[in-house]
Amino acid sequence: MVTFLPTRPGRLADVPSFTRAIGGAESNVACALAAAGHRTRWVSRVGADGFGDHLVAAVAAYGVDTTAVRRDPTRPTGVYFRTATDRATDAHEVVYYRAGSAASAMSPGTVPREDVAGGRVLHLSGITAALSDGCLALARALTARGPGRPLVSFDVNYRPGLWRDADPAVLLGLARGADLVFVGEDEAEAAWGLRGASAIRAALPEPAAVVVKHGGRGATAFSREGDGAGPPPARGTAPSAPPPRDAVTFVPAPRVDVVAPVGAGDAFAAGYLSAALRGRPAGQRLRHGHLMAAAALTVPGDLGAPPAAAHADRLARLDDAAWERLHLGPGWTRTGEDQEVRTP
């Protein structure tokens, strides 16, 4: 969607003007991964309008392949407006204009299988599944286990406003079909009544990896051999029954001077996937997730420039004591004199 960011804090009724940006769970992940040096493709639908032109051009500018984005001649591109306040507070407002949008009209019939089958990882979001019956059918088709599919990464992304007329247990079913799942501890409790990381993992036994995010406290990964975005299974083979035991890894989040608390979840998924695609171990995957999230948290919009790979790798390899003292502020992804990474 096209995102409109307020030019100053305040209620939507009082903000006089907005600046235009882009936003959207899956496109955010694609842009962040492309900026980090990975080959990515965004599969979606936008309107045959000016906002659609802007979205496709802006996403492509990050290096994302947009050739699988279809233009809908009869439906508009979705847009939304938000305030500058924290999403977790009562002062936060967000207004979506995406009912009847081009993206909400996606379905298994509008997305050719070849558009989503060529990569090592297919990343999906629960937000798309909530947009319409057709979008939910598409999400179910893409998370159905079977031979030849890529590794499926699924970010639950529970938004209560999107599930007022539907059962969010649907998201649990979609997550169980994935190979790698990202879910916030708070959203799992709100959507499914599950409390604690272990209970979440018990409810999601099928995925090879489940990453439970604890907000500013950190994240826990439950992972089995061959988990999340390493070398994929051989084409034409169905996954075997998973072994019963997990490796459990917790990594605390660094301290971050937050500019705007949006886009962090998508950025975390991108950082984790980037490290996984490069064969990093679970602890470093979580650290890269935290670092990419910090890049988003320290800018006003949904997307922050990721740190250079060598810079991120250096920080991800810090010893535990140095990592826990890490403090990241605006501008930290840049190198040079203005760098605001403070380590002992």
> Over the stretch 162-197, which tens digit does the pLDDT of each residue have?
898 889 999 999 999 999 999 999 999 999 999 999
pLDDT > 90 fraction of the chain, expressed in percent and rounded:
66
The better pLDDT of the pair 231, 100 is held by 100
Rounded Cα–Cα distance for residues 341 and 344 (Å):
10
116, pLDDT greater than 80: yes
**Are the C-beta atoms of residues 208 and 180 closer than 8 Å to each other?**
yes
Task: Please give the pLDDT value at position 86.
Answer: 56
Which of 60-64, 141-145, 216-220, 226-230 is the least confident region? Answer: 226-230
Of 9-18, 65-74, 153-162, 302-311, which range is least confident? Answer: 302-311
Per-residue pLDDT reduced to its tens digit, 42-94: 999 999 999 999 999 999 999 999 999 999 999 999 999 988 765 555 667 88
Residue tagged active-site, from 72, 227, 246, 266: 266
∠ CA 271-241-115, nearest 5°, is 50
> From CA 46, how far away is CA 39, in angstroms rounded?
22
Rounded average pLDDT over 26-53 = 95
Those residues with Cβ within 8 angstroms of residue 297's Cβ, 6 or more apart along the chain or in another chain: 256, 258, 259, 260, 261, 263, 264, 267, 304
DSSP assignment letter at 65: B
pLDDT in tens, 227-248: 655 544 434 444 455 455 899 9
Tell me whether residue 266 is one of the annotated catalytic residues.
yes
pLDDT score of 44 = 95
Can you give the pLDDT at residue 337? 32
CB-CB neighbours of 195 under 10 Å: 11
